[in-house]
Amino acid sequence: MSDSIDNHPDTLDKLIEHYPIVFKHLNKTGYHNLPAGWYKIMNRLCSELSVILEEALEVNPETPEEPLFSVLQVKEKFGGLRFYYMMNTKDDELYRRIQTAVDNAEDTSYSTCQITGNIGVLCKDGSHFMTLCEESRISMGYKIVGNG
């Protein structure tokens, strides 16, 4: 069985539907997963990216051979959000604006519980990391990173 996005319906599906300009060239062959608690973070990111991409595409329309922006992968890794993308541009300002938006979303994930969306901290159980609120951390038996 292929491990494509079609096999992992989750909150990412809602974002794909609401932000077609962001996900127009989504790599559907990669593994994608968006924990429910990070939906608001990704919604904010996609909203920002939509505005940036709409402005950029008005100035420089893309071609099918060279899309301006492609989402490669969205997932959790080591307790944080990862949003991998590719851009075809020589516009440093455009790249900086997109990278700043992505960096802010990824940074915010480290203080947001990936299960509930409440305030969270980076936790671990063995070698597995998650960002969790206190209630989720206790119920799952995770320890706060740096506190044993």
Question: How do residues 113-127 score in pLDDT, each as one tens digit?
Answer: 999 999 999 999 999
Whose structure tokens read 């559907």? 28
Contact present, 34 and 24 (Cβ < 8 Å): no
> Residues 48, 19, 34, 3: is their CA dihedral positive or negative?
negative
Whether 148 has a pLDDT exceeding 70, the answer reads: no
Section 31-46 average pLDDT: 92
144 vs 91: CA distance, rounded Å? 41
101 vs 26: CA distance, rounded Å? 18
pLDDT greater at residue 64 or residue 141: 141
C-alpha 72 chain-centroid distance: 10
pLDDT tens string 2-29: 333 343 346 788 899 999 999 998 877 7
High-pLDDT (> 90) share of the chain, %: 74
pLDDT at res. 5 = 34
Whether 1 has a pLDDT exceeding 70, the answer reads: no
98 vs 27: CA distance, rounded Å? 18
pLDDT tens string 85-101: 999 988 999 999 999 99
Q: Name every residue whose Cβ is closer than 8 Å to that of residue 138 and which is 6 or more positions away in sequence.
A: none
High-pLDDT (> 70) share of the chain, %: 92
35 vs 79: CA distance, rounded Å? 11
The predicted model scores a pTM of 0.88
pLDDT at res. 141 = 95
